[in-house]
């Protein structure tokens, strides 16, 4: 990957970047965007593969927070269960995915639909400042929390040049 | 359940819900006006409501039923201990209130509510005395 040759300085400013289509930025769903009407965000990146299910996929809303020890990613994934949740790491990409099935009550018909049920999926590019081997994940009340520890001994170090 | 010749009793409810949300959103700060989004299912014995409430604690939810009105109140908190700074903040927080006016009264004694995986499930029943009854037509 060409973008793996980033300088350490760039890592400081862009610790984790969600991998998203550029159209999103145009719609103003970027960093510090105010909460909109609460509707679900559409799935990311077309071309990631044809969907093999008939239900839609949505992108969970996330907070990416810097803490003392590293980074925390919180994702709202209501309906997600631990046994159908997948957290994947490939190179510097972290991806989360959960399959959610509609829970329609038996013998009743839908009268009002304000939200649609679908799978959750989102991907993040993570800088080398964080250790992807040490990722831990916990799911509680439909919120996934990922913890990424800081790299204690980064591969790339700044070498001080002493004046001769 | 509702025949095609019958007026949709939920049409009015949808409009009313929107008006309520507008009213509520003027007073409440924080969470989005339509939070949480709800789906409503209708059956012969009553209605079921499902809502997505990720990160809302059971103790922070208050559900009340009065005649034909269901009110859902709560608070969602999303502070993180030891947070030094945010790279991205998309999850809303704060107090929320949503009110639904049903086309018929429901029995406040028979409300069932459950919360799991960030999903709220409410089951509301019509009182026996209020249910529509089928009248047998006797042959002369």
Per-residue model confidence (pLDDT) at position A8: 35
Per-residue model confidence (pLDDT) at position B75: 92
- In 3-state terms chain B splits into helix, strand, coil percentages (rounded to 5) of 20, 40, 40
In a domain, A50, yes or no: no
Q: Out of A33, A74, A109, whose CB is closest to B42? A: A109
Q: Out of B14, B81, B119, whose CB is closest to A142? A: B119
Q: Out of A18, A104, A142, whose CB is closest to B54? A: A142
Tell me the pLDDT tens digit for each residue of B55-69: 999 999 999 999 899
Q: What is the mean pLDDT of residues A136-153?
A: 92
Per-residue model confidence (pLDDT) at position A1: 39
Greatest mean pLDDT among A15-19, A45-49, A122-126 lies in: A122-126
Tell me the pLDDT tens digit for each residue of B78-96: 888 788 889 999 998 889 9
Q: Which residues of A touch B (CB under 8 A)?
A: 15-16, 18, 29, 31-33, 35-39, 61-69, 71-72, 74, 76-81, 103-105, 107-115, 141-143
CATH assignment of the domain containing A88: 2.60.40.790
- Does the pLDDT at position A41 exceed 50? yes
Least confident of A119-123, A156-160, B40-44: A156-160
Per-residue model confidence (pLDDT) at position B80: 80
- Does the pLDDT at position B73 exceed 90? yes
Per-residue model confidence (pLDDT) at position A36: 45
Tell me the pLDDT tens digit for each residue of A2-39: 444 333 333 334 567 777 654 444 333 333 333 445 57
Which has more confidence, B54 or B13? B54
Q: Out of B31, B32, B54, whose CB is closest to A78? A: B54
In a domain, A41, yes or no: no
In a domain, A89, yes or no: yes
A2-22 as b/e: b if 16+ CB within 10 A:
eeeeeeeeebeeebbebebee
DSSP code of residue A160: P
Q: Do A67 and B41 touch (CB under 8 A)?
A: no
Tell me the pLDDT tens digit for each residue of A56-113: 899 999 999 999 889 999 999 999 999 999 999 998 999 999 999 888 888 899 998 9
Contact yes or no for B91/B55 (Cβ under 8 A): yes
Per-residue model confidence (pLDDT) at position A50: 58
In a domain, A145, yes or no: yes
In a domain, A133, yes or no: yes
Per-residue model confidence (pLDDT) at position B44: 85
In chain A, what residues touch B92 (CB-CB under 8 Å)?
Answer: 35, 38, 61
In chain A, what residues touch B114 (CB-CB under 8 Å)?
Answer: none
Domains and CATH numbers, chain B: 9-79+93-129 (2.60.40.790)
In chain A, what residues touch B85 (CB-CB under 8 Å)?
Answer: 65-66
Q: Please check whether residue B122 touches A, CB under 8 A.
A: no
Backbone angles phi, psi at A46, to 5 degrees: -65, 155
Q: How many residues does chain A have?
A: 164
Determine which of B35, B88, B99, B122 to mutate to test the interface with A (most A C-beta atoms within 10 Å). B88
Q: How many domains does chain A have?
A: 1
Domain that holds residue A83: 56-101+116-150
Per-residue model confidence (pLDDT) at position B29: 41
Interface of B with A in 65-94 (CB under 8 A): 78, 80-92
CA A54 to chain centre: 23
In chain B, what residues touch A44 (CB-CB under 8 Å)?
Answer: none
In a domain, A96, yes or no: yes
Contacts of B2 (CB under 8 A, 6+ apart): B8, B9, B42
Give the bridge partners for B113, in sequence order.
B122
Cα separations (Å) of B118 from A113, B38, B76, B87?
Answer: 18, 13, 11, 24
- Give B70's pLDDT tier (boundaries 50, 70, 90): very high
Please report where in the chains the tokens 């639904």 appear, as a residue: B100
Q: Out of B10, B87, B123, whose CB is closest to A112? A: B10
In a domain, A86, yes or no: yes
Contact yes or no for A144/A78 (Cβ under 8 A): no
Supply A11's token pair: 């890592």
Instruction: State the distance between the two ends of chain B, measured CA to CA, in whole angstroms.
Output: 29
Between CA A44 and CA B48 the distance in angstroms is 32
Per-residue model confidence (pLDDT) at position A53: 66
The ipTM assigned to this model is 0.76
Between CA A7 and CA B121 the distance in angstroms is 49
Question: Which candidate, A87, A100, A94, places its Cα nearest to that of A40?
Answer: A100
In a domain, A82, yes or no: yes
Per-residue model confidence (pLDDT) at position A95: 94
Q: What is the mean pLDDT of residues B108-137?
A: 89
Please report where in the chains the tokens 């990160």 appear, as a residue: B55
Between CA B32 and CA B109 the distance in angstroms is 30
């Amino acid at each position: 990957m060409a973008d793996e040759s980033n300088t350490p300085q760039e890592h400081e400013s862009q610790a984790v970047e969600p991998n998203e289509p550029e159209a999103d930025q145009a719609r103003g769903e970027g960093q510090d965007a105010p909460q909109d009407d609460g509707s679900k965000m559409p799935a990311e990146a077309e071309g990631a593969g044809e969907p093999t299910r008939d239900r839609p996929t949505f992108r969970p809303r996330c907070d990416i927070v810097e803490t003392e020890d590293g980074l925390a990613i919180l994702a709202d994934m209501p309906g997600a269960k631990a046994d159908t949740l997948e957290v994947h790491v490939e190179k510097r990409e972290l991806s989360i995915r959960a399959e959610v099935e509609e829970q329609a009550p038996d013998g009743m018909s839908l009268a009002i639909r304000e939200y649609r049920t679908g799978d959750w999926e989102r991907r993040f590019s993570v800088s080398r400042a964080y250790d992807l081997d040490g990722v831990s994940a916990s799911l509680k009340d439909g919120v996934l929390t990922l913890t990424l520890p800081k790299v204690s001994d980064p591969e790339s170090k700044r070498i001080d040049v002493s004046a001769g | 359940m509702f025949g095609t010749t019958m007026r949709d009793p939920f049409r009015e409810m949808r409009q009313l819900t929107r008006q309520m949300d507008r009213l509520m959103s003027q007073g409440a700060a924080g969470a989005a006006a339509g939070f949480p989004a709800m789906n409503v299912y209708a059956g012969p014995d009553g209605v079921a409501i499902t809502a997505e409430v990720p990160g809302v604690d059971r103790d922070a939810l208050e559900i009340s039923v009065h005649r034909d009105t269901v009110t859902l109140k709560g608070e969602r908190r999303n502070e993180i201990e030891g947070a030094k700074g945010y790279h991205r903040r998309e999850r809303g927080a704060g107090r929320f209130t949503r009110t639904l006016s049903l086309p018929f009264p429901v029995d406040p004694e028979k409300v069932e509510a459950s919360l799991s995986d960030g999903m709220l499930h409410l089951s509301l029943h019509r009182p026996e005395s209020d249910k529509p009854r089928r009248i047998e037509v006797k042959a002369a």
